[in-house]
Chain A
């Protein structure tokens, strides 16, 4: 995953404010006397058995709040914006924009392939960067994939996992969604590297600082829209009241497999 944005901090504060307002709006509920269930958890579920749905989630209460908060942000901000974006932008342009950002994000794959001493992934990623930046006109096209050189997704969370660091507690990040303590730390590192690379590129153009800020802001917004456009997931469309559990399970399991890969 590629993350970017100098205005990220400001946006985060805004979200935090919305979240607090939202939390205050929930009124306490009156309860009648509680009668034990006919199929109680204590009788059906054996404590000594590990269930596939079990996960190390000590901050579940906090995580569930952020999950709901993210769903609302998605509904009221991201999806309306993405819908407009998809309506006004021709498909080939959407595709070009996605390719462009994915190509910039190869820096994450490259550094982490190297850090894990994966020669094949490193080579493939290097080839992809060269081919897509040149033949693919600055990354707007992805000829590498059609040539059978597939993207090698590697990030710092995977690198940490590769060297034996466990995922740690499950963590739902505001806006970004499912993660773990390890992966969130990894995200910060990847993010810093990406930003450094991006400002190095921008520096080449010798712009004055107000133009540069404007460019940064524009790119951040476009990247956020592009990421949401590429993510097929829609909150509460799975039809399952246990969506939080499913997302947690599938995220942790996929990350485990990513580390092994």
Chain B
């Protein structure tokens, strides 16, 4: 009998550990493919198609003059997803270059709506809409300042919406750069106490923004011919699929199927990620240059109208890296205000989670979710999260950069963290 029980115990634990090690079946093993494709349809968490959402606009600075070329960015756009009953309100911050309604933001909106929360979605401070209408410096990338701007915007939005929704408590989250900003916003809140966030959840943050953009910058090999020929080859591959197929819908399934069929080499996928990062950085370079009249890409004092051709600036922005932006606009801007500032100290004090390491160590309300194979982290940087957050860090074995955000286990874990105890 005792042997039998022992046998049973061994069997049960074997099954248990087997199940546990196999439990995470997010399908994309390659980190670049995961980053590009995200989560294939059948692996996604079940989320509602329709949610109660209101798209809104906010004037942040009453006296700001909006240049004519940005006539359509005069107000900051955001959205409110609301419940008809008393519920927690979660603020979500978009990643680099992304708007409040980006596809990853929609995943979060739907997941939190389904969980019964109000959701307010915020555009990234690196997005032209934020730079033009809500950034105090208009030179984004400085996480401390950008987070102050976010906090300011959040206070203004709260003033506007507080009478229309019934809120029990405040939560905060963000992905990618938005996750790093969430940590800084949480720290600001410890002093200002406008929200008293009870829980904060960071999804795939960079440890050091400079390191991450450096990696992304170099994924695109940088000669004119290369970018041009890469684009041409890519679109002709794309055209091939399109011309041959009887019926096509452009979504992740389309890319997933191409990936399964063609099995593209890693350097091609790297270049595609680099290109997509460049495309969103271009917008930022242009917006900052216009707003600060830095004379970097657009001649200083040249007033662009809403009818000016921007095609030449498009080309120059396309040939500009984030590192160029750092050296030629970002650093000079902060250096002029603080002459003894070195590049190194600017990076470590304003672009890195390490600058608030002590806070992160002790802030039990903050949890981080990350992927072991996230492409925006330098070798070894993932250990920062293990070391600083301990068991408050959930490190998934794969998923690339934010590729597994919509995966059912990830959504379940995230919602579980926020749900008040005993409610499911």
**Chain A residues packing against B (C-beta within 8 Å):** 26, 29, 31-41, 44-46, 49-54, 60-61, 64-65, 68, 71, 150, 235-237, 239-242, 244-245, 253, 256-257, 260-261
Q: Is the CB of B228 within 8 A of A241?
A: no
Q: Is the CB of A241 within 8 A of B283?
A: yes
Sample of 7 A–B contacts (CB below 8 Å): A31-B301, A41-B315, A52-B235, A236-B73, A239-B97, A242-B283, A242-B313
Give every chain B residue within 8 A of A253 (Cβ-Cβ): 235, 239
Q: Is the CB of B282 within 8 A of A239?
A: no
Q: Does B165 contact A (CB under 8 A)?
A: no
Q: Is the CB of A37 within 8 A of B297?
A: yes
Question: Besides A53-B311, A245-B314, 13 other CB < 8 A contacts?
Answer: A31-B303, A33-B301, A35-B300, A37-B300, A41-B315, A45-B319, A49-B225, A51-B228, A61-B309, A64-B307, A68-B306, A242-B314, A261-B242
Contact code string B222-263 (vs A, CB < 8 Å = 1, else 0) = 001100100110010001001100110000000000000000
User: Total interface residues on B, using CB and 8 Å?
Assistant: 57
Give every chain B residue within 8 A of A261 (Cβ-Cβ): 242-243
Which of B295, B315, B319 lies in contact with A35, CB distance below 8 A? B295
Give every chain B residue within 8 A of A51 (Cβ-Cβ): 224, 228, 315, 318
Q: Is the CB of A237 within 8 A of B99?
A: yes
Secondary structure of the B contact surface, majority rule: helix
Which of A37, A256, A257 lies in contact with B299, CB distance below 8 A? A37
Most buried by B among A29, A41, A240, A257: A240
Alpha-carbon gap, A19 to B253, bound state (A):
42
Give every chain B residue within 8 A of A44 (Cβ-Cβ): 315-316, 319
Which of B99, B129, B286, B301 lies in contact with A242, CB distance below 8 A? B286
Give every chain B residue within 8 A of A45 (Cβ-Cβ): 224, 312, 315-316, 319
Alpha-carbon gap, A53 to B303, bound state (A):
23
Q: Is the CB of A52 within 8 A of B228?
A: yes
A-B CB proximity, top 5 nearest: A35-B300, A150-B247, A236-B72, A32-B301, A41-B312
Chain A residue with minimal CB distance to B69? A241
**Chain B residues packing against A (C-beta within 8 Å):** 68-70, 72-73, 97-99, 101, 127-129, 224-225, 228, 231-232, 235, 239, 242-243, 246-247, 279-280, 282-283, 286-287, 290, 295-303, 305-320, 324, 328
Q: Is the CB of B101 within 8 A of A237?
A: yes
In the complex, what's the smallest C-beta–C-beta distance from B260 to chain A, in angstroms? 21
Q: Is the CB of B224 within 8 A of A49?
A: yes
Chain A residue with minimal CB distance to B98? A239
In the complex, what's the smallest C-beta–C-beta distance from A213 to chain B, in angstroms? 37
Chain A residue with minimal CB distance to B227? A52
Known: A53-B311, A61-B307, A235-B72. A242 touches B282 (CB 8 A): yes
Known: A39-B320, A49-B228, A54-B311. A26 touches B301 (CB 8 A): no
Q: Is the CB of A50 within 8 A of B310?
A: no
Secondary structure of the A contact surface, majority rule: loop
Which of A36, A54, A65 lies in contact with B307, CB distance below 8 A? A65
Q: Is the CB of A29 within 8 A of B305?
A: yes
Q: Is the CB of B316 within 8 A of A39?
A: yes
Give every chain A residue within 8 A of B320 (Cβ-Cβ): 39
Q: Is the CB of A41 within 8 A of B243?
A: no
Alpha-carbon gap, A237 to B129, bound state (A):
9
Alpha-carbon gap, A64 to B308, bound state (A):
8
Which of A31, A34, A37, A53 lies in contact with B315, CB distance below 8 A? A53
Alpha-carbon gap, A35 to B316, bound state (A):
17
Which of B99, B129, B239, B298 lies in contact with A257, CB distance below 8 A? B239
Give every chain A residue within 8 A of B73 (Cβ-Cβ): 236
Which of A26, A41, A64, A235 lies in contact with B316, CB distance below 8 A? A41
Alpha-carbon gap, A40 to B235, bound state (A):
28
Give every chain B residue within 8 A of A35 (Cβ-Cβ): 295, 299-301
Chain A residue with minimal CB distance to B50? A91
Q: Is the CB of A39 within 8 A of B297?
A: yes
Q: Is the CB of B296 within 8 A of A34?
A: no
Alpha-carbon gap, A31 to B299, bound state (A):
12
Alpha-carbon gap, A204 to B305, bound state (A):
53
Alpha-carbon gap, A261 to B240, bound state (A):
9
Q: Is the CB of A46 within 8 A of B224?
A: yes
In the complex, what's the smallest C-beta–C-beta distance from B48 to chain A, in angstroms? 14
Alpha-carbon gap, A261 to B287, bound state (A):
38
